[in-house]
Amino acid sequence: MMVMSGQPSESNEQFETALREQKGRVICALSEDVTIPATPILWDDETLSCEEYVTLVYELHHVHLPELRADGVVEFDRHSDEVKRGERF
């Protein structure tokens, strides 16, 4: 029998942090490079399950990057899978 803990797992906490911080991480990465790959930005100490990573990719491509693009902060090219600085960066 599996017992569920009331405490969130460390992986779950890392996932929530990575998800919440993706927009800021993209902006920070673009301040150092003109173009970055359209992949989630994770810190070296962050470990996600496969399902969490897939969810993060989906959220980045379908929520975070489109919102940043709508604000003019980034240009997101789905065909080349690249993110560039937008006009309002």
* Digit-coded pLDDT (tens) for 29-83: 999 999 999 999 999 999 999 999 999 999 999 999 999 999 999 999 989 999 9
Task: Please tell me the distance from the alpha carbon of residue 23 to that of residue 31, in angstroms, as a whole number.
Answer: 13
pLDDT digits (tens, 9 = 90+) for 7-40: 456 778 999 999 999 999 999 999 999 999 999 9
DSSP string, 67-80: HHHHTTSEEEETTT
Report the C-alpha dihedral over residues 81, 10, 28, 32, rounded to 10 degrees. -80
Which pTM value belongs to this model? Answer: 0.84
